[in-house]
Structure 1
Amino acid sequence: MRSLNSLALLLAASATSVVAILPHHEAHAKYAKRAQPKQILPRQPAVRSRLTSKYLTNSTASFAVNGTALPEFDFDIGESYAGTLPISTNASDTNRLWFWFFPSDNPLADKEITIWLNGGPGCSSLDGLFQENGPFSWQSGTYAPIPNPYSWTNLTNMIWIDQPVSTGFSPGDILVNDEIDVGNQFAAFWKNFIDTFSMQGYKIHITGESYAGQYIPYIASNFLDRNDTTYYNLKGIQINDPSMNDFDTMGSAPVTAAALYYQNVLNLNDTYIANITARAKSCGYTDFLEYASVFPPAGPIPTAPSSEEYGCDVYDDIYNALYYVNPCFNIYHLTDYCPFLWDELGFPSLGGGPNNYFNRTDVKEVIHAPVDTDYFVCTGGPNLFPHGDKSVDSSLGPLPSVIERTNNVIIGHGLLDFLLFANGSLITIQNMTWNGLQGFQEAPSSTQNFYVPYHQSLGTILSIVNNAIPDAPPQYDTAGAGYQGTWHTERGLTFSTVNLAGHEIPQYTPGASYRHLEFLLGRIANLSVVGDYSTQAGSFTGITKTSIREGKFVAFFSSSFVSFSRSPVLGHFSTCSTSEYYPTHYAAWTISVSAELFNPPRVILLGTPEKLLRNSSMISQTKDQHRLSIPVLGFTTFSTNYDLYRLPRGVEFVFLAESLFFLFCFLPYRIWLQREAIHPPTPPREERTVLYQKCSDNITDPEAYLQKWFLGADIRDIRKENVKEFFLWAFFNRDGPPGDDDEELEEYIGILEKQLGREIPEGRGNVKCLRLTLDEVVMSHRSLIWYCCVGFVDFLTFCSLRYHGFHFYRTNFKQSLSIIPIRPHSFLTTRHSPAQHISYWHLPHTSKTKLPVVFIHGIGIGLYPYTKFLNELNASTGTPDDHIGILALEIMNISFRLTHSALSRKETAHEISQIISQHFGPDQKFVLISHSYGTVITTHLLRSPLLSPRIGPIVLIDPVSICLHLPSVAFNFTRRIPKDANEYQLYYFASMDPGVSHTLSRKFFWNENVLWKDDFEGRKVTASLAGRDLIVDTEAVGRYLCCGNLSGKSTPSLRAANGNVDVTLKNTSNLNIAPLIEIDETEVGEEARTIDVDVIGSGNEQEGTHDNEVDMEDDEEWKYREWKGVGTEVLWFGSLDHAQVFDTMGTRRRVIDVVRKYCEDE
């Protein structure tokens, strides 16, 4: 239902947004005409007030700031929270970051938060809060703070953070050598903040300026690398005037061109200009700029000429010359002149006086800052980059990857910045490669296309100016409007210039900065949109007043004030600041908006074609009350400026059905799936020791092993306490402190240290390990339409299997009704499964000489991908009385259904035993075939006293349970960030399915599921492995099965045990596999003939190939052994991916013939 309401509100807001569609050059006349001569005071923004707050809890009360107690403020700043939190899990850690968090009243900000960081390095974010984008503004040269109508809190929840440690109010002396340290410390702090304020899963945007262009990409990459949307759900970043490359590129190379461009402002003499121009040419800067400013780039851009060469330090030379001409020159905003302005922060003013408001004790106490801090707006402790920032520049490091992984990055640049230049940023962009191409392929627009809305109070300002009104209040509801610069977007990166901005875009052009954030948050489609700000009509930015009382709530959507009421017309808007919301009921509801300001063109409404509107009898031609009808839930009507056609009833029904499904079915199910896992009892110490030794003996690269289990963390950050935490989950089935098990853990760590060849550092690093059953269940939404598609595929499966003689055995009606989508054939069949939870398909076993088959499928859409395989098992059987019987089990919790959770190991074995006993005799053995996750169930059956003696040969296809101690399966399936199409397919359709995700995160206890080679003792086993498997490390599995270890080097005795004493290999391209598996090439066609090279490991050598014998590396030899049906063997499909063996007849037949041979031999 929420999705339908959102759609209706969006349409309503879009309809009223036409108020802003005016050519910007007409705005002066328009607003001048609106000016009221008798109006003296403009409407003042009122503070926000709340009756309750979801952020004020027992955990956050100590951080709450008294909004009326801040010295020098004569207004309530509203709800906010400030204080310090540690950069580790240790609550008493003295290394902490200070923050000031302001919640937003904007309904669209309910589940999102934006971070602001200033640069430096070592500059406090209070600079941004007080003078750029905070809820109040205290600009240089003003005597008191005032509310800021361009506060970013109008758009979203905002937090300003002093970081790294020792910046501003953030205490501590921890060593910060590089951006890796910065990212790790910030991420640990951020997790503490999220936990404190219960903001798990919030969408995160990170913004900042200057040296934050170095901080933010590294922090963003750190967040994304963790693949944890609970705490690090990053959606985009914005960096303004960023320090993201070396200063020669960002400053020295473009400074001369900038000085020439702004000569009319800088006023350097002609002789000097000629000299500096010649030096720029001789040093190579001019040619460098010319070469680097090509679209698309000609190739990699070389390093900029060095300013350390004699006569080439042109930046410092120009900088010094400018101070002779203008002693008050401000590199952050090149049009500033004397005198210096007093500044409460002491920066960048040089005017002296009682600077540094934040060194007042009474101020520190109100904002919960350390009172013993000697605050400087820009400084840093001795341990902040003591030898310089050791990280590479962000543009050469993580920034391209962040663009690729978010496709939402903005680089903004003020053209009046004389510290870092827009040309330098553009050159840097042209040298980056992201999303497959280098740089921008087209040049950014040379004409102004960045539109900033006009502000509401322009008429008032003109009245004051024209009428010389005495005692007029300060005008702060102003900002540059119209076309304020340019913007250009390619492949997820937007570059925008702002004409009148200096180094700090929000300080000098708050309207443009506000528009940037709207774009970053997705509130507007692009930066050329001509319309109001998204938060209020009349182009004003702020939510100026929110009143909450019983039965009413002010709602702001898009650029409109929306009034909901059960009466036909509740109110109207012109320049009103509030509107009211009454709780909805299923009745006739309307929104009424009067068109008092002007009559907008009819054809622009929601892009409706003019011909369609002209012929519509629903559109009123009166100016005073145009009406727009929008259906909601099929029986709700909204009314505003114009009529709109009713949505088709079929669409309305789909919206209603989806809404009801989400509210009453999917949402409760999703909440139910988040329950904590019930872990098995901790195994006895002897079992743990044996298990650990097995794992330890089968690790070839211990550093890579650790890093993968710790989600790619720097190996230096993985410390003993982190490893103990991982071992407690892996071998003890629990979380928490080591307790009495610490001695045993130290023993295991000692073994690991011997493998590493070094000691693991003491303590705990800022890293997180992968612990499936303790981590959050991460899943994506599935719509009712999706489950209808699943039901249709289920119907196709039913038709195929019934056609080929299979019978369906259902569970009881109660259990069948608990499965979504409903399966009609469950209520039509008279056959009942003896098991409570497991349904299955059965093909009667008529052969007297062959073994029957039990088949267990993997994660996916049930048995549909396997129907051809199952049907072809008996394709060559001569008579009906010689059929191989088949039991195909249905594991519904991994089959894209809403159903019960996975059964325990004992429950699974017990129910399968009941099924087998119903159809097979008490001593009847069977061939067990399992695919992917089905091999986990194979593990359970092999360890069942009831079933293990009855299991004959085994065929494991893409087995995930072998070598499960390695991180590949867990990481690839649940934590890998998808990049390729097949990875996205796996990620969305499998990993993020609710049932699958819950099974893996709450029921997948790896030490119960792992399959070791000694579990196969005395059995014939064949593993089918795909060389390009996205999930399983098939190289490791193959080496382990064939060679007994992961090195791939087997002993002669092991080869003999496997029936492979003679392993002399021939030219594999000439191997003929047809004699063994009897493939009729006329039947299977080209598919069978093209697999000969890839699917070796089961072929006889063809005569006449000995002249082409080649030697193979020992660790590759196992792939090419002849399949003999003895011991443990491998079928190797080098060119296939996971599950693709079932896709073509030729590859299926390879596995089918192995199964048939197993059935016949026994």
Structure 2
Amino acid sequence: MFLQFRQVLVSLALATLTLTLQANGFAARIDTTPGLKGKRYFIEEDGIKRTVFEHEDTGATIDFVTNSGICETTPGVNQYSGYISVGKNMSMWFWFFEARHEPETAPFALWLNGGPGCSSMLGLFEENGPCKFSNNESTPSLNPYSYNEYANMLYVDQPIGTGFSYGDDTVNSTVTAAPYVWKLLQVFFANFPQYECRDFGLFTESYGGHYGPEFADYFQSQNAAICDGHLEAEKIDLVALGINNGWYDASIQEKEYINFSRYNSYYPLINESTYTAYLNACETQCLPALQNCTSTTGQLTECNAAQTACDIVDTAYGNYYPSFNAYDIRQPGTGPSFPPDTYVAYLHDPAVMKAIGARSTYTECPEAPSVNFWLTADSSRSFEATLSSVVQSGITTVMFAGDADSVCDWFGGLACANAVSYPGAPAFRNKEVANYTVNGEVKGTFKSVGKLSWLRVFDSGHEVPAFQPELALQVFKQTMQKKGLFST
């Protein structure tokens, strides 16, 4: 019914400034503002007002609601939520929040959760978004340490099938995921030109150790094509990359995973004999297989073999720690944990879904997108070289990790930081870590040389902004300001 109605709208002459129609229960008004890079019209359906914009350059459509009143309730702060069609039958969910202070000049940042296939609503509601759930409340309250205290923030559910996104999922690797996010940004800025031409930051976590380097590198290559005149598109002024507890390189992190389990600063998760046995298995089975998987795209047979070899070690090893939460080893493996997942029930509320323009039932980390990545052995592929290219290109980069997380532990994160190749690499590797303070209070240890910073965060699990929100906002600001980390 909506498609038929849209065809009616498109076929109408645009001779007048606005045109209001009543058909099939909809009310619509066409926008003929000069300079639009496409067709825009406004729809009211079931009491909800939506804006639809058909992007001329890409053929994509953005369909969203304005100022739903959900999550961000700071007076005067705009928000938009809805869908962007990034391909045929591919509706990608986005939720945007203006900066709480001077949004017309504030920088712009994109947040992506990992998985692969985990929703960025995790980050929005549990970590660094404008609202959070406290004290077992069923509705959220404002988060004073939200990243939109400093920047205009965009949260995206990708790939298709993740979170609120729906349709046909053709993404099966980190490399194939990047162009869809680029396309989403192109459509977003075409509809919201007031936010373009800003310093742009990409922040992510967990599988973001893959996403972050690859997406940043892809953005840079697209920018180069624009500058060379080979591509007509909106340049993304990428200045910052932040990765929280990232999975970068299995050939480095598989071994450090076992070292962390024995020698982390909280308590050993395995005894010495188990440590020796599994370190030997890792070195004789997993790591040799990974040496044959050196491509981010090809070598399917070799990378599948490496994935299988490492999975055998990891699965057997995992049998030794069922009693604790792998994302925060200080917490038990069963029962309530922090941060709470209260937000999931909230997003299942039909009234909330209607208000924000959601058209599919929310799923936090669905299996299907993850399986697609598993079939290409994507997690076994190293993005260390890609990360090095990003740092070499002049992007201010911070790698940080909560020290109670065993999934993407800080041992492996530090080893990956030390392996980054860039002009400052020798000095970075040789530099001793120092205390990192927030308003004079020690919150971790760090080192910073040139465009690369590393930070170990004390008393934090996998989702650092949930455990150390004030620190996370300080790290975000310093990185967006194109500075290396420094204590306050």
Q: TM-score, normalised by structure 2?
A: 0.73
Amino acid at match of 2:243: I
Distance 1:360 1:493, change over 3 A: same
The aligned residue for residue 413 of structure 1 is: 401
1:168 and 1:338 mapped to 2: Cα distance? Answer: 24
Which of 127, 131, 134 matches 1:132? 127
The Cα of 1:133 is off from its aligned counterpart by 0.4
**How do 1:1078-1117 and structure 2 match up within 5 A?**
none
2:412 and 2:374 mapped to 1: Cα distance? Answer: 27
1:439 and 1:172 mapped to 2: Cα distance? Answer: 47
Amino acid at match of 2:486: S
Which of 260, 284, 289 matches 2:262? 260
SS of residue in 2 equivalent to 1:416: coil
The Cα offsets for residues 523-550 of structure 1, whole Å up to 9 and x where unpaired, read as 8x543332xxxxxxxxxxxxxxxxxxxx
The Cα of 1:104 is off from its aligned counterpart by 0.9
Distance 1:384 1:111, change over 3 A: farther
Query: Is 2:198 the partner of 1:202?
Result: yes
Distance 1:134 1:157, change over 3 A: same
CA contact (8 A) 1:118 1:124 kept: yes
2:372 and 2:309 mapped to 1: Cα distance? Answer: 29
SS of residue in 1 equivalent to 2:82: strand
The Cα of 1:127 is off from its aligned counterpart by 0.5
CA contact (8 A) 1:136 1:147 kept: yes
The structure with the larger Rg is: 1
The Cα of 1:202 is off from its aligned counterpart by 2.2
CA contact (8 A) 1:194 1:231 kept: no
The Cα offsets for residues 146-168 of structure 1, whole Å up to 9 and x where unpaired, read as 21110111111001110111111
The aligned residue for residue 233 of structure 1 is: 237
1:445 and 1:399 mapped to 2: Cα distance? Answer: 22
The aligned residue for residue 500 of structure 1 is: 459
The aligned residue for residue 527 of structure 1 is: 485
The alignment of Structure 1 onto Structure 2 pairs a total of residues equal to 403
The Cα offsets for residues 566-600 of structure 1, whole Å up to 9 and x where unpaired, read as xxxxxxxxxxxxxxxxxxxxxxxxxxxxxxxxxxx
Amino acid at match of 2:375: H
Amino acid at match of 2:452: L
Distance 1:264 1:505, change over 3 A: closer
Amino acid at match of 1:219: F
Amino acid at match of 1:321: Y
The aligned residue for residue 105 of structure 1 is: 100
Distance 1:321 1:234, change over 3 A: same
Amino acid at match of 2:406: F
1:82 and 1:407 mapped to 2: Cα distance? Answer: 29
**How do 1:1012-1161 and structure 2 match up within 5 A?**
none
The Cα offsets for residues 186-242 of structure 1, whole Å up to 9 and x where unpaired, read as 111110001111133222110010012211221111111112484322112111111
Query: Is 2:484 the partner of 1:489?
Result: no
Amino acid at match of 1:433: S
**Structure 2 portions without partners, runs of 5+:** 1-39, 43-48, 52-63, 228-233, 288-302
CA contact (8 A) 2:160 2:168 kept: yes
1:192 and 1:105 mapped to 2: Cα distance? Answer: 23
**How do 1:333-482 and structure 2 match up within 5 A?**
333-337=328-332, 340-341=335-336, 346=341, 356-370=345-359, 373-381=360-368, 384-385=372-373, 387-388=375-376, 390=378, 393=381, 395-435=383-423, 441-448=428-435, 450-453=436-439, 482=441
Amino acid at match of 1:365: K
CA contact (8 A) 1:122 1:379 kept: yes
2:330 and 2:242 mapped to 1: Cα distance? Answer: 25
Distance 1:441 1:506, change over 3 A: closer
Distance 1:69 1:391, change over 3 A: closer
The aligned residue for residue 320 of structure 1 is: 319
Which of 249, 252, 255 matches 2:252? 249
CA contact (8 A) 1:256 1:314 kept: no
The Cα offsets for residues 739-777 of structure 1, whole Å up to 9 and x where unpaired, read as xxxxxxxxxxxxxxxxxxxxxxxxxxxxxxxxxxxxxxx
Distance 1:264 1:237, change over 3 A: closer
Amino acid at match of 1:245: D
Distance 1:76 1:500, change over 3 A: same
Amino acid at match of 1:236: A
The aligned residue for residue 274 of structure 2 is: 276
Amino acid at match of 1:361: P
Distance 1:277 1:200, change over 3 A: closer
The Cα offsets for residues 772-820 of structure 1, whole Å up to 9 and x where unpaired, read as xxxxxxxxxxxxxxxxxxxxxxxxxxxxxxxxxxxxxxxxxxxxxxxxx
The Cα of 1:120 is off from its aligned counterpart by 0.4
**Structure 1 portions without partners, runs of 5+:** 1-56, 290-302, 348-353, 455-481, 531-1162
SS of residue in 2 equivalent to 1:375: coil
The aligned residue for residue 114 of structure 1 is: 109
CA contact (8 A) 1:430 1:440 kept: no
Which of 159, 166, 189 matches 2:154? 159
Amino acid at match of 2:238: L
Which piece of structure 1 moves more, 188-197 or 421-430?
Answer: 421-430
Distance 1:442 1:427, change over 3 A: closer
SS of residue in 1 equivalent to 2:249: coil
1:391 and 1:276 mapped to 2: Cα distance? Answer: 25
The Cα of 1:257 is off from its aligned counterpart by 2.7
The aligned residue for residue 82 of structure 1 is: 81
Amino acid at match of 1:431: A
Distance 1:386 1:495, change over 3 A: closer
Distance 1:278 1:140, change over 3 A: farther
SS of residue in 1 equivalent to 2:247: coil
CA contact (8 A) 1:407 1:491 kept: no
The Cα of 1:265 is off from its aligned counterpart by 3.8
CA contact (8 A) 1:415 1:421 kept: yes
Distance 1:392 1:339, change over 3 A: closer
The Cα of 1:255 is off from its aligned counterpart by 3.1
The Cα offsets for residues 401-433 of structure 1, whole Å up to 9 and x where unpaired, read as 111113311111111111112221232233342
Distance 1:412 1:439, change over 3 A: farther
**How do 1:773-812 and structure 2 match up within 5 A?**
none
Distance 1:359 1:218, change over 3 A: same
2:282 and 2:332 mapped to 1: Cα distance? Answer: 32
The aligned residue for residue 147 of structure 1 is: 142
CA contact (8 A) 2:479 2:485 kept: no
2:350 and 2:176 mapped to 1: Cα distance? Answer: 31
Amino acid at match of 1:509: Q
The Cα offsets for residues 948-987 of structure 1, whole Å up to 9 and x where unpaired, read as xxxxxxxxxxxxxxxxxxxxxxxxxxxxxxxxxxxxxxxx
Distance 1:137 1:346, change over 3 A: closer
Amino acid at match of 2:84: L
Distance 1:391 1:440, change over 3 A: farther
Q: Which has the higher strand share?
A: 2
The Cα offsets for residues 607-664 of structure 1, whole Å up to 9 and x where unpaired, read as xxxxxxxxxxxxxxxxxxxxxxxxxxxxxxxxxxxxxxxxxxxxxxxxxxxxxxxxxx
2:339 and 2:263 mapped to 1: Cα distance? Answer: 33
SS of residue in 1 equivalent to 2:362: coil
2:338 and 2:487 mapped to 1: Cα distance? Answer: 36
1:338 and 1:392 mapped to 2: Cα distance? Answer: 26
The Cα of 1:275 is off from its aligned counterpart by 1.1
Amino acid at match of 1:210: S
The Cα of 1:518 is off from its aligned counterpart by 1.1
Q: TM-score, normalised by structure 1?
A: 0.32
